[in-house]
């Protein structure tokens, strides 16, 4: 069945601002914020805790099973630092947030990330790993790269996504 509301992934390196964007976007649009971090923890979609990285080892099959029914209905904002596991058919827009190294360093240091995790995340942002992953996994025209260093940039990103959403709904209504 066709979705009457789209599904959006907000992705990027940890600390770029995914959750901040997803929460505000949900508030402004009524779409549902799906925090994958919370689902992995609360619904136990993991194979245990990684001490070195201080994070859960995700069981992707379990995770997809846990969210499938909800996401297939549409109207979800999926918030996570990976995107290639979500089936193409579920997704209408992929927003990849980006930030400069100095800003990311400050945000991750403030969170007291373990050194190994901090360095890996900084390297991953410099190498645009998430942007490449998004471009390899989804059609080019649904992947959007947006800067997220300042509150002004976040505001402008939210306005852009809202405009996209309005257009999507008009197109979708016209098509049915
Ligand atoms: N555009 C922005 N301007 C200013 N501060 C921001 C912006 N985006 C995020 N921040 C700040 O950066 C920190 C990290 O943001 P957030 O938790 O939203 O990132 P995240 O990408 O969801 O991280 P994680 O992947 O670890 O969940 C927060 O303190 C948030 O307030």
Closest Cα to atom 26 of ligand 1: 14
For 56-67, the pLDDT digits (tens) are 999 999 999 999
Tokens encoding 19: 């959750």
Distance from C-alpha of 27 to C-alpha of 24, rounded to nearest angstrom: 5
Question: What is the per-residue pLDDT for 176?
Answer: 55
User: Is 91 among the domain residues?
Assistant: yes
Closest Cα to atom 16 of ligand 1: 17
pLDDT band at residue 85, thresholds of 50, 70 and 90?
very high
Q: ipTM value of the model?
A: 0.98
User: Is 164 among the domain residues?
Assistant: no
Whether the CB-CB separation of 122 and 106 falls below 8 Å is answered with no
Instruction: Label residue 130 exposed, middle or buried (CB < 10 Å: 0-12, 13-18, 19+).
Output: buried
User: Is 32 among the domain residues?
Assistant: yes
User: Is 163 among the domain residues?
Assistant: no
Closest ligand 1 atom to 110 CA = 29
For 125-141, what is the mean pLDDT? 97
CA of 107 to the centre of ligand 1 (A): 7
Distance from C-alpha of 35 to C-alpha of 105, rounded to nearest angstrom: 23
Question: What is the per-residue pLDDT for 70?
Answer: 97
Q: How many domains does the chain have?
A: 1
Distances (CA, A) of 148 to 1, 65, 77, 106, 140: 35, 31, 17, 14, 21
Whether 20 has a binding-site annotation, put simply, is yes
- The model's pTM: 0.96
Pocket test for ligand 1, best of 10, 11, 19, 40 (most atoms within 8 A of CB): 19
Domain region containing 110: 8-157
For 147-170, the pLDDT digits (tens) are 999 999 999 999 999 999 999 999
């Amino acid at each position: 069945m066709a979705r009457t509301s789209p599904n959006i992934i907000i992705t990027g390196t940890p600390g770029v601002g995914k959750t901040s964007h997803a929460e505000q976007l949900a508030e402004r649009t009524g779409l549902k914020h799906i925090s994958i971090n919370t689902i992995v923890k609360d619904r136990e979609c993991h194979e245990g805790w990684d001490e070195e990285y201080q994070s859960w080892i995700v069981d992707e099959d379990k995770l997809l099973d846990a969210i499938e029914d909800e996401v297939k209905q549409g109207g979800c904002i999926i918030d996570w630092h990976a995107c290639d596991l979500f089936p193409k058919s579920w997704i209408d827009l992929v927003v990849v947030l980006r930030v400069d190294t100095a800003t990311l360093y400050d945000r991750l240091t403030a969170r007291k990330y373990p050194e190994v995790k901090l360095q890996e995340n900084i390297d991953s942002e410099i190498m645009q790993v998430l942007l490449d992953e998004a471009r390899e996994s989804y059609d080019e025209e649904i992947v959007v790269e947006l800067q997220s260093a300042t509150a002004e940039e976040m505001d402008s990103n939210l306005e852009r996504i809202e405009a996209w959403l309005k257009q999507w709904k008009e197109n979708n209504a016209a098509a049915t």
